[in-house]
Amino acid sequence: MTAALLLGAAGLPLLALLLMRGRLVAVTVRGYSMSPTLMPGDRVLMLRGRRRLASGRMAVVVAPHPEHGWRPPAGDTPVSWYVKHVVAVAGEPVPDWAHRCAGPRVPPRMLVLLGERPGSSDSKQWGYCPEDKVIGTVLVRLRAAGRADAPAAPDATGTGP
């Protein structure tokens, strides 16, 4: 489903259905790890699930645990979400900069993620991200207050942390 379909008249019933079922969620960006593409206060429209997960897309993932990364202790409850670029999926080559990702190719059910800022918390620090940590994929950036360069998009209900 593309942004054009979502915005077109033919896509409005589908958009309404996905919003009502909670499959589409507007997520507010907090922090600078994805700047300049995404800035604090920007909102992205996320499709829940992993169906559209691919290299080159952005994904919303459970934030890694500060001590244990994407393998938190049993019973630990995630407190926030991250938006990151998906750089490689299972079977694709591991990028040279991903020193914490062992092997020449990404293993099954794993991802290599990257933020845009050098200090971003991503696969550079935590290695592979398990696919089960993906909450959804970003479909489109919604207009943020005070940002003239953001594309216009339909208003959506729901928020993410």
pLDDT tens string 24-39: 888 899 989 999 899 9
CA distances from 49 to 32, 88, 158 (A): 24, 17, 16
pLDDT tens string 35-54: 989 999 999 999 998 878 99
Q: Which pair of tokens denotes residue 40?
A: 């604090």
CA distance 16 to 75: 35
Query: pTM of the full predicted structure?
Result: 0.75
Contact predicate 21/153, CB 8 Å? no
DSSP assignment of 105-134, as one string? Answer: BPPTTEEEEE-SSTT--SHHHH-PEEGGGE
pLDDT at 158 over 50: no
